[in-house]
Structure 1
């Protein structure tokens, strides 16, 4: 009987999972495998909790179809090869990814597979359009500017969604292994992980009831107090939802503004594919300026104690929820780099530490955009945080939600710099403000 292994990585779902679908279609027995990688453990308490919730839900989804999630701990390459050899599997399927770590893992797995005469098949599924498919004329490796990428991306024929397997049959005698207890995260109000929760949120988002949902998105996505973005980004990051299925659903609703944000996500994935040092080196030659290094200022920013209310609200939302509104991400990132003059890499690390949806392509790519070191045609743009707050939180509802010290101040007055024993800086006054062009996935 033919046997195949499906190595799950960031595709923790059964709906539109090409790797799982092809394995079930081509083999009589399938081993759905997840390897807990010690190299990635401990990077983020929030993401560890979300991941383990996703794995528990994936196990239930597979059990409903007669299978199970086989869990091992160690090096994913060594464990996948070991499981395949123990059960005479001829093929290992997995979703292709773009980070430097993921691509090294894919190369090692392919090499080890050849050595043991096990075929390794890479599949799409992490993005809407495969990161390596669209390339600019003139021999470039990837698009550096979003608008031409969006134009060709919108005209590209997308793949068909993969069918959901009706039955998953394990080999006889295989030990599924135990999932560790779900760890405590660092944010008390973080979202719950898993495909089941993600699909429930997606259904609510597509229903567009009472001013919440995809139909209202163009009018409310920047409204800080309303908080009417989809909040689907963690489920996309972990593959609980298919980005293709979401894009198809949005396109049938003629929701171009939301589809555009999914294209931004694909855009940074194709950048990260050819620029694996996106988190540590500037994309724009000479883009790094003379950053200053001030541990006290950085700590004030991290703790939400800068004295600029909207900045502090955003940073406190990050800690409380493991998530931050897209507009607040823009404001807080611009404040760190353009106002405090601190290195964008410190921001990359801090967001990556707390964000459930934190990943290399979007987190690092957007930080570089804001800092002026990345894919922005106007790297010198600046944002006035108080002007941004008055525009997108005019009555201060968002600020008072996360900065309780200011609850006694009514209306727009809450946005004036508040007094601290040791303010991080004197607010420099009005700064040049450009048309708002936030690019963080508005999830």
Structure 2
């Protein structure tokens, strides 16, 4: 009997998975393999919050495979060595994997090809698994990638996505291939207390419920901090428990302005992947430099990390991140703008902290969103500065979001919660809340001087 191997990476799902589908269609038996990769840990990507979510994903994937007569094979160690070892044990000819764009994913793919082909196996790399469109599927004339989102999105919409694939009914796994125990969330130490549940079943349940109602209002409410009206699907997209291709199709079938706004956000995700694929160094180097003499990591960055900047909406966002391993997108913009443009601290300091905590910590989206806010990336207005006070009044007008995450200010009425330093001195002393780290006007002036705008 012929055997193939499906190496799961950032595609931990049964529905609409071209990697698994190709493996099943080309062989009598398939080894569904996931490697707990020591290289990921050594590279610093093995954060506790993502490990907790991953444990849920693997448990759910294993359960889904068992319902279909199969099982998930889990190994620990070097991803390339373990994949080659399992392929040899099972007698697999073809090894299927999703294409990636990060430096680590590309190096892993290169090593896999060299190792596997040297042993007589064939590596099959599949596109449109992690993203809705493959990086490089659309390019401007004379260039290898789009550097501005709007023209990219116009081409992205015209290109269209492949058809959605169903989940397999039966998965036959060869006997005798040993597996480590599927990890459990209970064995993860150091995770944030509010990390959401992972797994394909949970992701599909969450999207179905969101599509039935909140999706309709997404265009109008996606920036509402207190309303929490976003999909919260980014962790599922990061781990691939949901297919971006399927989400585009299902959102568009629902129709309406909310669905189109959501699809646009999925296109932003693809946009960042195609930028990183073309410019791998942008994960750690300025995409467009301004000769910034950034301030380094220090006490002000510590206060930012701890949610003690003295600006309540920024602090609320940072505390949500620490508790949930997730942050509202508007909060991400405000927190990043405050660090890079008000405090003028290197964007890499903030990006590193986010990667330490975010369940959806993705190199393409995290690093390039940070660069967008810092003005070193693809933003066509690189010197824009988000004012946390005006943003708070607009997106958290009555302070509900701030009170939810900054309990010291729970008793402050109305919009005064956004400027507690204006309260009478005797009341401020009872709040146990810090004074602002910097005056906004002073921070803006410093940034403008540094960028040579004055």
Name the TM-score, length of structure 2 as normaliser: 0.91
SS of the residue 1:136 aligns to? coil
Does the CA-based 8 Å contact 1:12-1:54 persist in structure 2? yes
Q: 2:59 aligns with which of 56, 61, 67?
A: 56
Counterpart in the other structure of 1:170:
173
Q: 2:437 aligns with which of 425, 433, 436?
A: 425
Which structure's residues are more often helix, by fraction? 2
Alpha-carbon displacement from aligned partner over 1:180-208 (angstroms, at most 9, x marks no partner):
33214421111011001101101101110
1:62-211 counterparts in 2 under 5 A? 62-124=65-127, 125-138=129-142, 140-182=143-185, 183-208=188-213
How far is 1:157 from its partner?
A: 2.8
User: Quick check: 1:269 aligned with 2:269?
Assistant: no
Does the CA-based 8 Å contact 1:384-1:430 persist in structure 2? no
Q: d(CA) in 2 for partners of 1:287 and 1:232?
A: 34
Counterpart in the other structure of 2:24:
24
Q: d(CA) in 2 for partners of 1:195 and 1:365?
A: 27
Q: d(CA) in 1 for partners of 2:24 and 2:308?
A: 53
How far is 1:421 from its partner?
A: 7.6
Q: d(CA) in 1 for partners of 2:297 and 2:284?
A: 19
Q: d(CA) in 1 for partners of 2:284 and 2:18?
A: 32
Q: d(CA) in 1 for partners of 2:195 and 2:183?
A: 19
User: Quick check: 1:281 aligned with 2:293?
Assistant: no
Q: 1:384 aligns with which of 378, 384, 387?
A: 387
How far is 1:251 from its partner?
A: 1.5
Name the TM-score, length of structure 1 as normaliser: 0.93
| Unaligned segments of structure 1, at least 5 residues | 433-443
Q: For structure 1, which segment, 157-166 or 58-67, has the greater mean C-alpha deviation from structure 2 after superposition?
A: 157-166
How far is 1:417 from its partner?
A: 4.6
Q: d(CA) in 2 for partners of 1:207 and 1:422?
A: 42
User: Quick check: 1:252 aligned with 2:256?
Assistant: no
Counterpart in the other structure of 1:343:
346
Q: What value does the CA root-mean-square deviation take over the aligned residues?
A: 1.5
How far is 1:167 from its partner?
A: 0.7
SS of the residue 1:278 aligns to? helix
In structure 2, the CA distance between the partners of 1:279 and 1:288, relative to structure 1 (3 Å rule), is: farther
Q: For structure 1, which segment, 176-185 or 309-318, has the greater mean C-alpha deviation from structure 2 after superposition?
A: 176-185
Does the CA-based 8 Å contact 1:34-1:71 persist in structure 2? yes
Does the CA-based 8 Å contact 1:49-1:185 persist in structure 2? no
How far is 1:426 from its partner?
A: 3.1
How far is 1:288 from its partner?
A: 4.5
Equivalent pairs, count: 426
Q: d(CA) in 2 for partners of 1:104 and 1:417?
A: 50
Does the CA-based 8 Å contact 1:243-1:262 persist in structure 2? yes
Q: d(CA) in 1 for partners of 2:297 and 2:118?
A: 51
How far is 1:377 from its partner?
A: 1.0
Does the CA-based 8 Å contact 1:186-1:319 persist in structure 2? no
Q: For structure 1, which segment, 2-11 or 42-51, has the greater mean C-alpha deviation from structure 2 after superposition?
A: 42-51
Q: d(CA) in 1 for partners of 2:229 and 2:339?
A: 26
In structure 2, the CA distance between the partners of 1:422 and 1:200, relative to structure 1 (3 Å rule), is: closer
Q: For structure 1, which segment, 350-359 or 179-188, has the greater mean C-alpha deviation from structure 2 after superposition?
A: 179-188
1:279-428 counterparts in 2 under 5 A? 279-284=283-288, 286-418=289-421, 423=435, 425-428=437-440
Q: d(CA) in 2 for partners of 1:233 and 1:136?
A: 28
Does the CA-based 8 Å contact 1:278-1:360 persist in structure 2? no
Q: d(CA) in 2 for partners of 1:323 and 1:180?
A: 22
